[in-house]
């Protein structure tokens, strides 16, 4: 359950209890929800600004459409993972940390291989690695593992990022969890 879902449940409980007692819902809970919402929006804006700044620092040659697509993905709750060409994780969005249960110090400097486990389809992993070796964009569904060992299916789209001189500087993965049907 994510933070916003837990606050929705809190409001529903308070509202139900107040209706049974014949009084109005507590305004404090509504104010807490408002403050949480504002903090989440500030954090999202800050994260988007950091992503833009990274693009400027590394001189990524992204069209406006590409940059806006990545930013929209973040706003919609997708996770972003930035690696260097050797696939070392340099930055992740907060959504990635929420999805996997890791904290930044546990993932930065690691490779995405840390998310793989015994049930991961290594043919798919090999296909992804070969595409990245050729500096090609690739999409795949991977069975990954959270910090607590719980397996989840992750749909990933990875793009190579180049600087103004045409040199590969990073890979950027946009990921989302695929719910079992």
| 171 phi, psi to nearest 5 deg | -120, 140
Give the confidence band of 7 by pLDDT, cuts at 50, 70, 90: low
If you average pLDDT over every residue of the chain, what do you get? 84
**Sign of the C-alpha dihedral, residues 30, 36, 40, 43?**
positive
For 33, 49, 99, 131, the CA distances from 5, given in Å and listed in that order, are 11, 26, 14, 38
- pLDDT bucket at 139, cuts 50 / 70 / 90: very high
Q: Using one digit for the tens of pLDDT, what is the confidence trace for 52-83?
A: 888 777 788 878 888 888 888 888 888 999 99
Q: For position 13, what pLDDT does the model report?
A: 66
Asked if pLDDT for residue 1 goes beyond 80, the answer is no
Torsions phi, psi for 121 (to 5 deg): -80, 105
The kind and range of the H/E element at 155 are strand 151-162
Q: Which long-range contacts (CB under 8 A, 24 or more apart) does 42-50 make?
A: 43/94, 44/74, 44/75, 47/74, 47/93, 47/94, 48/74, 48/75, 50/91
Query: How far apart are the C-alpha atoms of 12 and 14, rounded to whole Å?
Result: 6
pLDDT reported for residue 140: 97
Comparing CA positions, the residue from 101, 85, 3, 1 lying closest to residue 44 is 3
Residue 15 pLDDT level (bands cut at 50, 70, 90):
low
63 versus 25: which is more confidently predicted? 63
Query: Alpha helices of the chain — where are they, by DSSP H?
Result: 3-21, 27-57, 64-75, 94-100, 104-107, 122-133
Evaluate whether 129 touches 173 at the Cβ level (below 8 Å): no
- Nearest CA to 14 among 3, 28, 34, 35? 28
Strand 168-178 to 151-162 pairing: antiparallel
Q: What is the pTM of this model?
A: 0.75
Q: Is 169's pLDDT higher than 90?
A: yes
């Amino acid at each position: 359950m994510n933070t916003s879902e837990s606050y929705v449940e809190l409001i529903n409980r308070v509202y139900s209890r107040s209706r049974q007692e014949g009084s109005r819902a507590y305004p404090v809970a509504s104010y807490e929800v408002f403050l949480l919402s504002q903090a989440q929006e500030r954090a999202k804006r800050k994260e988007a600004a950091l992503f833009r700044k990274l693009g400027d620092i590394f001189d990524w040659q992204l069209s406006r459409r590409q940059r806006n697509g990545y930013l929209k993905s973040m706003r919609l709750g997708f996770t972003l993972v930035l690696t260097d060409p050797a696939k070392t994780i340099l930055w992740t969005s907060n959504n990635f940390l929420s999805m996997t249960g890791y904290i930044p110090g546990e993932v930065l400097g690691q490779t995405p291989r840390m998310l793989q486990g015994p049930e991961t389809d290594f043919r798919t992993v090999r296909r992804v690695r070969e595409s990245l070796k050729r500096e090609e964009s690739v999409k795949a569904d991977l069975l990954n593992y959270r910090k607590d060992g719980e397996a989840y299916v992750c749909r990933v789209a990875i793009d190579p990022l180049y600087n103004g001189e045409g040199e590969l500087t990073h890979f950027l993965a946009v990921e989302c969890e695929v719910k079992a049907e």
